[in-house]
Amino acid sequence: MTLERSALSGLATGVGSLPFTDAETALNLIFRSCPEIPFWPQLPKRSHFESMIAQFSENLPCLEATEEGVVYNPANREEKLEKFYERIIAQDIEYFKISDKFALGLYKFFRRLEGADLSAVKYIKCHVTGPFTFAAGISDENEVALLHDEVFMQVITKGLIMKALWQLNLLRKFNKPLVIFFDEPYLAAFGSAYTAITREKVVEVLKEITGGVKSADTLIGVHCCGNTDWSMLMDAAGVDIINFDAFDYLERLALYAANLKGFLQRGGMLCWGIVPTAEFGPRVTPELLLKKVTEGIAGLEQKGVSRQLIESNLLFSPSCGLGTLDTGKAEGILGALAEVSRLYRKGLSLA
């Protein structure tokens, strides 16, 4: 299958989480707002099992999802790790499946795709929490984040790769190109006094992820909804799409114009998280957001990044997940997103 990246230009997709408790209601909104790149909804208000860390914790060693969060239990750790690596070596992808208890929206999405006319669908999007965010959200018996446990950080990275592969295998039934995002909001803490992760470590882990997941029918994206050292993502081999908060941090991204130019020239794409989540309200109109996009493109062009290169490798999304919002606000955000995409493509004669 040939990945026609140009077919994505100006299209819209979502980050993942939505504030609904009913999966069908969430799917109706997704297919109405993002018909060309639909995604399965994470529904954290439906169940604590659908929070972004718990959702991908099934069958990872020493971890248990509870109402308070994911709990680490070091009992029989070596034995559990040995069994885990046996599954990894055997490439037992099915062992790492995500059950409907943890992702009802994924199963409802699958059934919706089975019964739908998919002629308008360009790509199908899925997602998994990235290893830095996942590991930072779980503490060991000494209240130290697993992010600082080198052995377990490797376990988490390999386990999440398998979770990604399981999703991709599931959705290949529909014979559409796929895109999977690794959601890494924790990378916004990079460079602060509160985290000791290095640039080299971030690039190394991203390279392992992309190497483990890359296939001919799949694009790999990384989402970070805060500011970070964007050059890490641009320079990491195998990252196809960078999803950033374009409403609040476009100027920060522009500081890495030279890296961005190389990234786009190598076939990379930017997914502009142009519709804000916390700040969204009546004054945030599609026209205002489109103006922000056109000004952003002009600013990057002034820094030496080709306008044509930017415009042909551009997607839209909300700036972050919508799972904590009220349903009315989420509907407004995705409605604005769809209109920004329509107006942008109309302006480029793509609609």
199 lies in which domain range?
Answer: 5-347
What pLDDT digit, counting tens, does each position of 116-165 carry?
999 999 999 999 999 999 999 999 999 999 999 999 999 999 999 999 99
Q: In this model, does residue 2 exceed pLDDT 70?
A: no
DSSP of 240-284: -EEEE-TTTSHHHHHTTHHHHHHHHHTT-EEEEEEE-STT-STT-
pLDDT score of 143:
92
pLDDT score of 4:
67
What pLDDT digit, counting tens, does each position of 39-74 carry?
999 999 999 999 999 999 999 999 999 988 899 999
Residue with tokens 């029989």: 76
Q: Which of 264, 351, 270 is nearest to 317 (CA)?
A: 270
pLDDT score of 192:
63
State the amino acid at position 247 in one-letter form. Answer: F
Helix ranges (H only) for the chain are 23-33, 77-89, 104-114, 131-136, 150-171, 199-213, 230-235, 250-254, 257-265, 286-302, 307-311, 327-347
Which contiguous run of DSSP H or E holds residue 40?
none
CATH classification of the domain holding 53: 3.20.20.210
pLDDT score of 5:
66
Judged by average pLDDT, the poorest of 87-96, 117-126, 185-194, 246-255 is: 185-194
pLDDT score of 348:
66
pLDDT score of 8:
79
Q: How confident is the model at residue 92 (pLDDT cuts 50, 70, 90)?
A: very high
Q: How confident is the model at residue 98 (pLDDT cuts 50, 70, 90)?
A: very high
pLDDT score of 193:
58
Q: How confident is the model at residue 351 (pLDDT cuts 50, 70, 90)?
A: very low
| Domain total of the chain | 1
As a whole number of angstroms, the distance between CA 125 and CA 181 comes to: 8
What pLDDT digit, counting tens, does each position of 166-220 carry?
999 999 999 999 999 999 999 988 866 567 788 999 999 999 999 999 998 999 9
Give the pLDDT mean for 277-287.
92
Burial 262-301 (b: 16+ CB within 10 A, else e): ebbeeebbbbbbbbbbeebeeebebeebbebbeebbeebb
pLDDT score of 350:
45
As a whole number of angstroms, the distance between CA 272 and CA 319 comes to: 8
Return the top range by mean pLDDT from 3-17, 188-202, 334-348: 334-348
* Residue 78 tokens, joined: 């070596």
